[in-house]
Amino acid sequence: MFAFYKSALSGEYSSPLCADYKSEWRKCGDDKEKLIRLSLKQQSIPFVVTHAFHNKGLTKDYVKEFFGDYVKGKKLMDCDGVDGYSYSLYADWDYANDLVVETDVCSIMWTVGASVIVQKTKCPVIYVSNRSDVHLVCEGYNNVMVYLFDKSKVTIEDADSDTSIIIYKYSDDASVETGKYCLGKVKQFNKRLKL
pLDDT digits (tens, 9 = 90+) for 99-153: 999 999 999 999 999 999 999 999 999 999 999 999 999 999 999 999 999 999 9
How does DSSP classify residue 55? T
- Stronger pLDDT, 52 or 44, i.e. the higher one: 44
Count the domains in the chain: 1
Does the residue 42 lie in any domain? yes
- Give the pLDDT of residue 95: 86
The pTM is what?
0.90
| Angle between helix 19-28 and helix 2-10 axes, rounded to 10 deg | 170
Closest CA to 159 of 139, 144, 145, 177: 139
Residue 79 within any structural domain of the chain: yes
Mean pLDDT of 45-50: 87
Within-domain flag for 147: yes
Overall average pLDDT of the 50-79 stretch: 86
Share of the chain above pLDDT 90, in %: 65
3-state helix, strand, coil in the chain (%, to 5): 25, 35, 40
The answer to the question of residue 128 being in a domain is yes
Residue 195 lies in a domain: no
pLDDT, average across residues 63-89: 93
Q: How confident is the model at residue 56 (pLDDT cuts 50, 70, 90)?
A: low
More confident residue, 157 or 21: 157
Phi then psi dihedrals of residue 103, to 5 deg: -125, 170
Angle, CA 76 vertex, CA 136 and CA 13 arms, to 5°: 75
Do the Cβ atoms of 134 and 154 come closer than 8 Å?
yes
Q: What is the pLDDT of residue 32?
A: 87
Domain of 95, in residue numbers:
2-190
